[in-house]
Every structure is written in structure tokens, then in C-alpha cells.
Structure 1
């Protein structure tokens, strides 16, 4: 199972284990069980602190295994073989159950310890899902901190019957005590906010106590991170208010065009962004959503939790989200056949028929990826021709299980009340209505800026983007904007980073020229001295 290189790396990690670990395997006679047995045997041979035993109890999924701390209630379970994107989750589980330090803020750890209740989580994942590991690792860490939290990670590709029975058509999908809890990329703080009902009230109270920021950045994607770094380096009081640090990058798989980084993945890039920001004196306020901007000499940003933050300058970098097609059935069957991430959810449609809506690069790339998993792909494009790069179009047209439909307007997504079973579109050339029988629809038609909360406050384009000048200045003095949320063309990470840096420099220049020169310079000198 593990090649020599992986074994060497894992052995080095396992040297950090300080307490004994018992791995308990529950196996059947399947091929997957034999693979699991081989993997666990290899892991056990890498450390004298690890013992591997079998216990084929009747009340657990097979094949599965638990990683336990003997003499305690601490343990996590994997139903499936955590390789691919989940190999890191396996390594962290071994380290954390083995007593290695869990890298969370002490306040968060204390909040987890104080949860009063018994929680049994089941998380369905696919090994190709790049959003799943964060959920798995968050829940595993929580279960080690508080043994009343029990967690099982389930590979949907191995337990397909259970996936069908529960109508799971998107991952990661979480269940708590048998009831649906949530889906999509989720971190510890977001999970805690749902479990600890008073958390948002306490968080709002803490935010209200904060002093006025010199610059407050709303949004934690590449533009927001760059703004924070450039502002903090000026020695001014800098804060970042983010719904989830990393933003849309977290939903991106391969990044191969960020200058100086030959290849990386979105989640890894997001972690690097956050680590870089944390290297400076930046107040990061995560899992907080902005609800209102009140401009002024000292502007106010109101959050959905009820907090009010004050700042002399504000940088808006709230990014964008997947654009919806807004037809009947889309919302009703979201996560029940309607999906937006082919990398995450594609494996759940193995052997089935799907449609991809959108003929740009994203849509064609999705169709190519899905063609290797599903039985058939129908790509539907509104325009008269595909808009993707020529090399992608050539690859798409070479695939025998792909149909391309152009000049087609999607009109409805149909279902049986539980999941998708068809899609209707109108041939724009003939006006003829057509129907495609299928089991899944992947929407890939671009992005929409997150600016609904800013309407009537700053000038927006007809597409909802924040209008900015060459310095990143919005229509409101002292309020700047950067990244995908603005009118700046070409929505690329490298451009967002540059625009974020520019906005921070412009905000600093505004502070210098707005009459607070002595105060700003004094604060900066004091910060540098410290």
C-alpha cells in the first residue's frame, strides 16, 4: 500500500507519538478489507508505540478501523481506506490520538472541552474531494479533545449502498446523531458555532470591545491576505473580518499559474496565506459575516452576529461565489443531484449520467474530469459555441461518452422529490423544448460578486461588482476594494494578490493624508520598535 517514500515520511512523523496507540480493525472478506489489513500492518510496523488488533464486532461498518488511546475513551474511526486527500487526515489522527499537540487556539480547545452533550458524527467523503479533509480533521481533533464527541469518516465509494439509502449526492456531508448536520467545507470554529448556541453572542460581545482599526479588511481570500500583510508591514493596526479564511481558493483544486509556485492545491495555498498573515500583528476575526457598512471618518462594519467594528479605512475583498442558473429545481435539488464542485462530488456519480452547464474553461474541464468517472456527460452551453481554450475543446471532443449541446437554454431541473432525474432545455435556434434523462447536474457558469450587503453604500457595476479606480478607491472616501469582488478584469489569484497590496498601500496613503499623519506615523514607529 505505502511506497518506500511514504513509509519513510510516516515513520518520521510517528516518532512524535508520545502515548501508546491501539488500532482496532473490523474486517470482512472484501478486497477493500484486505487492502486495509495490509495498510494497517505497514503502519503498525513503523512504530513500537502502535499495536494493531482485529475485533469484528457486529455493530460497526466493515471494513473500518478505529485509532484509540488505550485506557481512555479517546478514538476516531475510518470506514474506508484514507488515502488520496485523506492521507493527511490519517497521519494527524495517529499523531493526535498519540498525544501530539493539537494546533488550535487555547480558547477554542477550552470551548470544545466545555461542550455539554454526547455527539456522534458521521462524515461521508470521497478520496478525490479536496474540501473533505478539513472537515475530517476538524472533527477528529474535536473528538480527541472531548471524548464525548465520537466521529466516523465514511468513504462513499466503499459504502455505496449507504450513500444511496441516505440520498447523499454531495460531499463532505455530515450527520450528527443520525440527523443531517451540514455539508461542504467546514472548520472547527464553524462546527462549534452550531454546537455551542451561545458562541455567536459571546463572539459578538468580544468584537464590540475591539479598538478602532487603522484598516479593517473584510474578506480573507488572496486579496484580503495581501492587504493584511502590506498594511501590517506599515505598522498600523490591522484587522481581517472573514467568513472563512482562504475564500474561494479553498474550493479550487489545481493552481498552476501563480508565479513562482509551479503547482499547488487551493487548500494548501489558503493555509500558506493564513500562516503568512499570522506572521504579522494582524487581528483575524474568522467565521464572521459582514452585514452592513456605515461609512464615515470612522467607518463601521456591522456583522450578522450583531457586532460593530470601527475603522479609519476599510478594504472590501469579499470575493465571489458560484453563479446559479436560477431555474426551477436548482435550489430544491442542491446536494441531491445539483452540484457545483466536480472534483468533490464527481465520484458519487460513478457510472451515472450527468450534465455540465457551461462551456467556458471551468465547464469543459469539469466535463473532461467527469467523463472518466460517469457513464455519460452532456455539456450544455447557452452560446452558439464553446468558450473554453482550444486545447480543452480538442480533448473534450475526443471523448466518446460526451455530447456537446450549444445554443441551449436550461429551463428546469427535474426530480422525483428526493433526487434529480432529468433536465430540460430549449434549443435557441429552433425553439424546440428538449429533455435529458440523467442523475446529476454540475453548474459551471462563472461567478457572482458577494456585494448584496453593500447595495446603496458604494457604487456597483451592473454586474454587482464594486467600482474602483486605479488605486483601488471606491466611490466612498476611505473605503477601498480589491480582488474578484471589483470591476478589475481577469479574475485570477495573482491579480487579486496584487490588487490587495495596492489597496493596502492606498489605504495607508489615505491615512497619512487625512489629517491623522502624526498619529499614524507614531503608531507605525512604535510597532516597529516593539
Structure 2
């Protein structure tokens, strides 16, 4: 099953297993069970510390558990974890086998101290690029604290269960049988939901920090670039972010970042964070800013949890999020047929009829991708022409299971109370309403800047973007902004990185020109050298 090169790489990794582990399979007579058995026996043959047996006692078949012999530490997969989840499988083998888990000590201690029994079910698809972080986070937590039990379930393998539980978006997590959350989540985010007092404790801790020279709000490409450029100047640099990586975490293919032929968003985000951590940067993750104000000679950024961070200058790089169509039914059926990530959720609609809203590059790309999975795609574009690149349009129109409707306004998402059943659109020329029966609606109509919390604080455009000058400075001296949240045109990763670097250099220039008493007698010129 595994290619020779991949098998050789896996064998090298398995040399890091220090404690004996046992793979216990529960199989049925299905072809997928035979495929799973073949994979597991191949893995077993690669290490003397791994044994294999079948017992058939698991609730879901086919499935398997990876257990540390003589302990209650184990991880369960009701899946054949290949594709995006192969890394999750490798990590599970290594970590159950005693390889260290790379969490901060504070996070590990917090996981150990969780009081209670937690049974997680994580529904995923093998094509979902957001799912591995959830799977790997939960698996690592279960090894640290054996009272946490985790089963990863491939929705494509257990379609009846997916249908009965109305799962139309992945990753989807259940805790002790109740819905817990969906979408990409790190271990820290999962912990924050489990340990409800952690937010206030963290806020109190953050508020004690000394003032930064530059505080960057946002951890996407723009924020990462700003942090690197600031730290290289030798000044005290902090990054406060809702989630480090930003919208890049939700991006699948990246093929236009200069010098990198192709990569995936999550991998790119990991590289960003590793690069930032190479320098002396204080990263404060899972902290959403709620207020910016000036207090004396310092700026204060307050988070939703109540932390107050002080700094001599600020760079705002809070990015943007998916724009919603804001019609009846959209919010009611979000994650129950209304989706925003075709790569993640597309496989859940295999053999069904879906719609894509939006005729730009993202919408047309989504329609092309979905056409290879679903029965039929209806693309609805508000304008009279598609806005996607010509090469994408040619590909779209070559597909026999795609209809394109232009000059149409989506007016309502229909459902039966549990899931999407269709949508209504209006012909903008005639005003006539039409109903399309379908199971899923994928919204791809652009971005909204994450700047609502700054209304009344600094100058924003009518579209909510932060007004910046050629140096990235906002209407408030000492406050700079970069990336998709600003008025800079063309929302691209490479542009955001450049704008982040520029804003950081401008902030450093601002700091150098402050009166000496406002810089605590720090010789900024010397630091620049």
C-alpha cells in the first residue's frame, strides 16, 4: 500500500519509538477493512516495538487503536489516515511510543490538570487541510491526560453516521456525545473551551507585562513580517493574535508566493510562526483585541478577556474573514449545508447537488473542485459576467455538470430545519424568483476586514478598511497598519508580507524620532546598527 520511498521514511521515523505499542484492529468484511489491515500490517513490519492483533470489539468497524502496552494511553482511528491525515498517523505512533510532545510546558501542565472525563469524537475528511490540527491536538492531549479519549472518524467511511448526526462540515467535534465545536482548532483553543477560567487567568498574566516598543495586533503574513523586521532591530516586540497564521490557515494551495513554487496554507503558517520564534518575539496567541486607546505616552490594547497590553507603537494587521451573503437561512444552516471551504467540506456532498455563490477566482475554483466530487454544481454570480481569470473560466465552461447563472441575486437559503434543501435567487433583469433544489451552498464572495473594533478610534473607509498612507501609518501617529485590513489594493499574501515589513520599518523610524524621555533613554540609533 505504501510506496517504497514513503515506507523507508516511515521506518526511519519509527526508530524514535521508545516504548512498545500495540495496534488493535476491529475489522469487518468490507474492502476498506482489507485496505486498513494491509496498512496496519505494513506499519507493524517496520518496527520491532510495534505489534498487531485483531479483536473486533470496537463500536465502529473498520477501525483501529494505537495503545501503549501496559498503560491506559491510546488513540483510536475509525479511518484509514492517509492523505492529509498521514502525518496524524505518524505522530500518533511516535507519541504513543513515548516520543516527546512539542507543547509549551504551561500548556502540558494545564492539560494534565483538567478535572473530568472527556470522550471526543472528531469527524474529518481526508481532503480537509484544517482537520489534521484538530486530530493532532486532541491526540496529543489524550496522551498527556489519559482521561481524555479521542476517536478520529472519516466521514466518507461512516456515511450513515454522518447522515444521522447531520454532519455537513468538517472538522466537527463532539464531546461526551454533545456538539463541541467545528473548524480548525489548536490545543490551546480546545483547552480554552474546556478550562473556562483560563481566559481570565491569562488576561491577568498578560496585563503584568512591561510596555513593548512595538505591539503587533494580528498574526497572519503581515503581522509575522512586521514582527521579524521589528525584532531584527533589537527592540522589544510583541504579537497579540486571535490565532497565529490568520486566514492563511484556511487556504489550501499557495502557488504564487515568490520563491516557493507550491505549498499549503497550514504549512506556510507553521513556517511563518517558526521564523518569528527564531527571534525574541513575545507571541500572545488566542487573544482577540477589542479596544485601542492612548494613555499618556503609551498605547493600550485591550483584549476581549480583559488583558491590557502597553506599547510605544502599534501595528494593526488583523486581516479579513469570509464575507457572508446575509440572507435568511444562511446563519441558521451554517455548517449544516452552508459552507465556506470547498476543500474541507466538499467530500461530504459527494453525489449531491450544490451551489457556489460568487464568480471571482475563488468561486470559480471552488466550482471546478466540487464538480469532480458532487453530482452537479450551480454557480451563481451577481454581476452580468464572471470575474475570474480567463483560464479558470475556460475550465469551468468545459465541465458538463456545472451550470452558470449570471445576473442573479441569492435571496434565501432554504432548509428543513436540520439541513439545507435549496436556495432562492432573483433574476436581476426580470425580477423573477427561481428556486434551486440542492444540498449545499458554498459562499465565495470575498472578504470583510477585521476592523469593526476600531470604529471611532481611527479613520476607516466606508468598506471598513483602515486608511493608511504610503508608509503604512494610520490617522493616529504611532499606529500603523498592514495587510488585508487596510486600503492597500490586491489582497495577496506576498503583498501582505511586504506591507508588514514596511509598516515595521515605519514604526521603527517613528520610535527613533520620539523625544528621549519617551523612549526610556534607549539609544535607538545604536540598536539600528
Contact 2:378 2:402 in 1 (8 A): yes
Quick one: distance in 2 between partners of 1:455 and 1:433? 37
Give the equivalent residue in structure 1 for 2:473.
Answer: 473
Quick one: distance in 2 between partners of 1:73 and 1:497? 46
Matches for 1:367-516 after TM superposition, within 5 Å: 367-516=367-516
Quick one: distance in 1 between partners of 2:45 and 2:104? 33
Contact 1:157 1:348 in 2 (8 A): yes
Q: Does residue 72 of structure 1 match 2:71? A: yes
Contact 1:119 1:177 in 2 (8 A): yes
Quick one: distance in 2 between partners of 1:295 and 1:495? 29
Q: Does residue 354 of structure 1 match 2:354? A: yes
Quick one: distance in 2 between partners of 1:226 and 1:49? 44
Give the equivalent residue in structure 1 for 2:343.
Answer: 343
Quick one: distance in 2 between partners of 1:289 and 1:139? 23
SS in 2 for 1:72: coil
CA shift in 2, pair 1:491/1:390, >3 Å? same
Q: Does residue 280 of structure 1 match 2:252? A: no
Matches for 1:198-347 after TM superposition, within 5 Å: 198-296=197-295, 297-347=297-347
**CA shift for structure 1 position 210:** 0.3
Give the equivalent residue in structure 1 for 2:128.
Answer: 129
Quick one: distance in 2 between partners of 1:333 and 1:515? 55
CA deviation profile, 1:10-51 (whole Å, cap 9, x unmatched): 001001111001000010000100000000000000000000
**CA shift for structure 1 position 295:** 2.8
Quick one: distance in 1 between partners of 2:528 and 2:206? 22
**CA shift for structure 1 position 521:** 4.5
Quick one: distance in 2 between partners of 1:425 and 1:77? 44
TM-score normalised per structure 1? 0.98
SS in 1 for 2:121: strand
CA deviation profile, 1:207-261 (whole Å, cap 9, x unmatched): 0110000000000000000000000000000000001000000000000000000
**CA shift for structure 1 position 201:** 1.1
Give the equivalent residue in structure 1 for 2:89.
Answer: 90
SS in 1 for 2:71: coil
CA deviation profile, 1:96-136 (whole Å, cap 9, x unmatched): 00000100101100100010000000000000000000000
User: Would you say how many aligned residue pairs link Structure 1 and Structure 2?
Assistant: 527
CA deviation profile, 1:66-123 (whole Å, cap 9, x unmatched): 0000111100000010000000000000000000010010110010001000000000
Runs of 4+ in 1 over 6 A off after TM superposition: none
Q: Which runs of 5+ in 1 are unaligned?
A: none
TM-score normalised per structure 2? 0.98
Q: Which runs of 5+ in 2 are unaligned?
A: none
CA deviation profile, 1:320-361 (whole Å, cap 9, x unmatched): 000000000000000000000000000000000000000000
SS in 2 for 1:370: helix
CA shift in 2, pair 1:20/1:523, >3 Å? farther
Matches for 1:25-174 after TM superposition, within 5 Å: 25-57=25-57, 59-174=58-173
Q: CA RMSD in A?
A: 1.2
**CA shift for structure 1 position 282:** 0.3
Quick one: distance in 1 between partners of 2:528 and 2:450? 33
CA shift in 2, pair 1:234/1:34, >3 Å? same
Quick one: distance in 2 between partners of 1:519 and 1:4? 61
Contact 1:409 1:427 in 2 (8 A): yes
CA shift in 2, pair 1:520/1:21, >3 Å? farther
SS in 2 for 1:81: coil
CA shift in 2, pair 1:260/1:526, >3 Å? closer
**CA shift for structure 1 position 429:** 1.0
Give the equivalent residue in structure 2 for 1:16.
Answer: 16
**CA shift for structure 1 position 308:** 0.5
Quick one: distance in 1 between partners of 2:69 and 2:528? 48
SS in 2 for 1:213: coil
SS in 2 for 1:348: helix
**CA shift for structure 1 position 527:** 11
Contact 1:75 1:97 in 2 (8 A): yes
Quick one: distance in 2 between partners of 1:312 and 1:265? 35
**CA shift for structure 1 position 522:** 3.7
Contact 2:511 2:524 in 1 (8 A): no
